[in-house]
């Protein structure tokens, strides 16, 4: 990947800020409010403001920041964020497929390791895994050149009628939810048939060929992304 560690602000904290801006900005690369960053990172708003000012004022700015207008990643900041995301998702895949880590444990381990692996180590992991395109949660892995495939999936909460879908990905943000989804058979690549959909009461689905209905709460449904099933 073209981006490399820079002397200015080379820390886990900087990487975490850049990742948070990348995810909160979404595919549209929207401006991200300081409050949204503070909530996601669990830090005080004043700390967010100080960090953003620092990143914007460095010799090679990682963000474009205007007070009261939010923040955008600069080209260099986006590359660095994608590099860290690539590290994270390759490590998750390595832990899961090669070291047999439980799916609910790989995220936290990858969070600790993603900042420190070398580019050579990254390349060796990718080669060992056969250059995977997605991690165990179904999330795309950025390419070495810093490209991310366009996301075509939608959250389960966007479904407005019954139908058959394929689970594209599940969120890794909450260990307990991930464990529950796994126990219910809700994993990437599995067929999911929506039988009832209600944004308030939740969703009733059947997994694979099972005839047993699984009830999913609205907040959990938001963490499941799906694609239309192709017959």
Question: What pLDDT, on a 0 to 100 scale, did the predictor assign at position 199?
Answer: 77
Cα(first)–Cα(last) distance of the chain, in Å? 37
Residues 72 and 168 in one domain: no
pLDDT at 103: 92
CATH, residue 115: 1.10.10.10
CATH of the domain at 218: 2.30.30.90
Beta-ladder partners of 205: 194, 214
Residue among 43, 57, 136, 150 at smallest CA distance from 96: 136
| Domain span at 159 | 154-228
Consecutive H or E run containing 166: strand 163-170
Torsion, CA 46, CA 28, CA 26, CA 199, rounded to 10: 110
d(CA 166, CA 171): 15
The answer to whether residue 193 scores a pLDDT higher than 70 is yes
- Confidence tier at 10 by pLDDT (50, 70, 90): low
Of 100, 134, 150, the residue that ends a domain is 150
pLDDT tens for 85-132 read: 999 999 999 999 999 999 999 999 999 999 999 999 999 999 999 999
If you count DSSP H runs as helices and E runs as strands, how many of each does the chain have, helices first? 8, 8
Query: Do 66 and 113 share a domain, yes or no?
Result: yes
* 167 pLDDT above the threshold of 50: yes
**Total of domains in the chain:** 2
> Could you give the CA distance from residue 195 to residue 215 in angstroms, rounded to a whole number?
10
Query: Could you tell me if 133 and 162 lie in one domain?
Result: no
Would you say 173 and 104 are in contact if contact means Cβ atoms under 8 Å apart?
no
Helical ranges in the chain per DSSP H: 12-25, 34-41, 45-57, 75-97, 106-113, 119-128, 175-183, 218-221
pTM of the complete model: 0.88
pLDDT value of position 197: 82
Same domain, 14 and 121: yes
Round to whole Å and give the CA distance between 157 and 177: 16
């Amino acid at each position: 990947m073209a981006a490399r560690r820079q002397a200015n602000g080379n820390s886990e904290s900087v990487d975490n800020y850049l990742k948070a801006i990348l995810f909160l900005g979404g595919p549209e690369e929207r401006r991200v409010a300081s409050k949204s960053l503070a909530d996601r990172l669990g830090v005080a708003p004043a700390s967010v403001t100080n960090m953003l000012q620092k990143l914007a004022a460095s010799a090679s700015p990682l963000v474009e920041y205007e007070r009261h207008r939010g923040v955008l990643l600069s080209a260099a900041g986006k590359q660095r964020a994608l590099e860290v995301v690539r590290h994270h998702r390759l490590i998750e895949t390595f832990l899961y497929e090669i070291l047999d880590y439980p799916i609910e444990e790989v995220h936290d381990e990858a969070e600790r390791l993603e900042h420190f692996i070398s580019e050579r180590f990254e390349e060796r992991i990718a080669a060992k895994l056969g250059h995977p395109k997605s991690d165990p949660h179904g999330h795309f892995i950025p390419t070495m050149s810093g490209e991310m495939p366009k996301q075509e999936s939608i959250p389960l909460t966007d479904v407005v009628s019954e139908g058959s879908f394929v689970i594209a990905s599940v969120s890794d943000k909450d260990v307990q939810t991930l464990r529950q989804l796994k126990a219910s058979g809700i994993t990437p690549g599995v067929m999911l048939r929506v039988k009832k959909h209600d944004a308030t009461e939740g969703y009733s689905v059947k997994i694979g060929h099972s005839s047993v209905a699984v009830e999913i709460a609205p907040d959990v449904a938001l963490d499941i992304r799906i694609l239309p099933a192709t017959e």
